[in-house]
Amino acid sequence: AQSVAQPEDQVNVAEGNPLTVKCTYSVSGNPYLFWYVQYPNRGLQFLLKYITGDNLVKGSYGFEAEFNKSQTSFHLKKPSALVSDSALYFCAVRDMDSNYQLIWGAGTKLIIKP
Amino acid sequence: DGGITQSPKYLFRKEGQNVTLSCEQNLNHDAMYWYRQDPGQGLRLIYYSQIVNDFQKGDIAEGYSVSREKKESFPLTVTSAQKNPTAFYLCASSYEWGGGNEKLFFGSGTQLSVL
């Protein structure tokens, strides 16, 4: 069965420090992987996606994510956190070979402290 | 500006009542989706539509109904059969269904509560 895990409910980072939000996945075929961000009482916004190619994907607002096939991970990273990065982050996966729907992680709340 | 508009922002349902959530997009997208978001959970798919006049059940379709009579509109009705309707409802669209080209555009959501 397809699944996505975001092992941390909340991540706290000081402003200016690097941040990592973790995501691991399980699919039977090759994955499409996505990160979205949700600000309070708003819909989600697309950050980046991995389909194929370079394992390091760059996205919006200075975020990037690294696809690691052996560890089945797709962690979201940013070199220097901003207070405005504080939000809820969702990882999602689709099995490339099944044409099935997106499967979503439970979300990780990122808090950046000044 | 192009985007997705959901209305109302807040909605209250009385017991036994059906309520309809509106979703309109002007992005000329073929695919549209309804998700339910509960605290501490990922998004769960209620219904999706790959093209106008067609729609499919998602994982939690029971107690909900949809229609897709126009490309730009995908309203969701929460029926009285849905016993736990309190949640944040998100409508989304994408250029097409699947194939990796699945950058979803989301509306701002509707918070539904039971009186």
pLDDT in tens, A55-89: 999 999 999 999 999 999 999 999 999 999 999 99
Mean predicted confidence (pLDDT) in A23-27 = 94
Given pLDDT bands bounded at 50, 70 and 90, which one contains residue B97?
A: confident
CA pair distance B106, A47, nearest whole angstrom: 13
At residue B100, the pLDDT reads 62
Mean predicted confidence (pLDDT) in B39-48 = 90
The chain B residue lying nearest A10, using CA atoms, is: B40
Which position has the token pair 């950058």? B103
Residue A112, Cβ neighbours under 10 Å: how many? Answer: 20
3-state secondary structure of A31: strand
Mean predicted confidence (pLDDT) in A32-41 = 92
Residues in B closer than 8 angstroms to A94, CB to CB, are 98, 100, 102
Task: Establish if A8 touches chain B: CB-CB under 8 angstroms.
Answer: no
At residue A97, the pLDDT reads 63
The chain A residue lying nearest B90, using CA atoms, is: A43
Task: Establish if A106 touches chain B: CB-CB under 8 angstroms.
Answer: yes
Residues in B closer than 8 angstroms to A103, CB to CB, are 42
Would you call B42 and A41 a contact, using CB atoms and an 8 Å cutoff? no
At residue B40, the pLDDT reads 83
